[in-house]
Structure 1
Amino acid sequence: MRIVSGHLKGRRIIAPKKLPVRPTTDMAKEGLFNILNNRIHFQDIEVIDLFAGIGSISFEFASRGTQRITAIDKNYDCIKFLSKTADELEVALDVIKSDVFDYLQKTPLKADLIFADPPYDLSLENFEAIETAVRERKLLNEDGILIIEHSKHSKLDHIKSFQQQRRYGNSVFSFFEMEK
């Protein structure tokens, strides 16, 4: 896995094989960030990365100048890897070990962008629960975006705040924007 742009462009993130992760592919990540380049100023936003895994998305934001990034994962080895890699890359990353669903119910943080990359076999009800928690708890700042990565076999376009989706191979990014 490599960082595709920014001051860390080309740096590789090599995770131990024992970690239970499915990192976003470079092709999908590049497509996602091409979309975001036209919508946001990376230096001005706060990001929450849910199901952060090895931090591929978090480090991509950091490489592009985002200063306030919170990465959430419940796996201890992922958290350890995230912290170690952030230190090696000299990136400020707030790493939190927590179940994402518990975190969404308790966090006082708000963000401009929340990215969720749950396991592709997550139940439809749990995909919906992510959007519901973000919307009902008002975890996004004004004009904020929730992006959920999922497989092409999961359909999320029926969810209340759904706006659009983009597909890259087997990966789909669904974009949600909360009502003002």
Structure 2
Amino acid sequence: MRIIGGTLRGLRLNPPTNLPVRPTTDLAKEALFNILQNRVQLEGINVLDLFSGTGNISFEFASRGALLVTAVDRNQGGINYVNDTARKHKLENIKTFKADVFKYLEMETPTYDIIFADPPYDLNRIPEIPKLVFEKSLLSPGGLLIVEHQSMQNLSNHPAYTEQRKYGHSSFSFFNQPAS
């Protein structure tokens, strides 16, 4: 894994091998950030990274100038790695929370410009993520929710769904909060 853009471009991330994660591939991450760069000004935004794992996506947003990146995961090893790496590279804009993502979403009240979720592919509650995000009004006007999931899964039945982009066995589904 490496950071593909911004101030930390080229930085190799070497998380512990015993973390129970499936990081977004560099190819898919590069495609995702190419899409985002054409849609969103990444500097100065607030980002929520759900199921953050190794922090791969959090670090990418922080490197590209996000004002605040909130990383949520229930695995203490992943949280420790994100905190240690953020400290090492002076990324004071990354905050972590060790929590069950669904409980966190139920309690969360701030709004975000981008929410990225990369749940375990075998999690049967993936369709609940857009439902909760929109019920709790967690996206700013014009905000974007991106859910990474298996390509064979279809999340298009949510009213805020806009498109799915496939990259091999992985897909990103996009959901938009209308601008006010």
Aligned partner of 1:117 in structure 2 is 118
Residue 178 of structure 1: how far off its partner (Å): 2.8
Q: For residues 132-165 of structure 1, give each alpha carbon's deviation from its aligned partner in whole angstroms, at most 9, with x where no partner exists.
A: 1110110000000000000112111122211001
Taking the TM superposition and a 5 Å limit, the aligned residue runs for 1:1-180 are 1-92=1-92, 93-123=94-124, 126-179=125-178
Structure 2: segments with no counterpart, 5+ residues: none
Computed over aligned residues only, the root mean square deviation of the Cα atoms, in angstroms, reads 1.0
- Read off the aligned partner of 1:164 and give its amino acid letter: E
Runs of 4+ off more than 2 Å = none
CA distance in 2, matches of 1:86, 1:109: 22
CA distance in 1, matches of 2:136, 2:109: 9
Residue 167 of structure 1: how far off its partner (Å): 1.0
Higher helix residue share: 1
Structure 1: segments with no counterpart, 5+ residues: none
Question: If the length of structure 1 is used for normalisation, what is the TM-score?
Answer: 0.96
Task: Give the 3-state SS of the residue equivalent to 2:127 in structure 1.
Answer: helix
Indicate the larger mover: 18-27 or 148-157. Answer: 148-157
> In percent, how many aligned pairs have the same letter?
48
Q: For residues 48-78 of structure 1, give each alpha carbon's deviation from its aligned partner in whole angstroms, at most 9, with x where no partner exists.
A: 0000000000000011111211000011111
2:119–2:148 CA contact under 8 A, matched in 1: yes
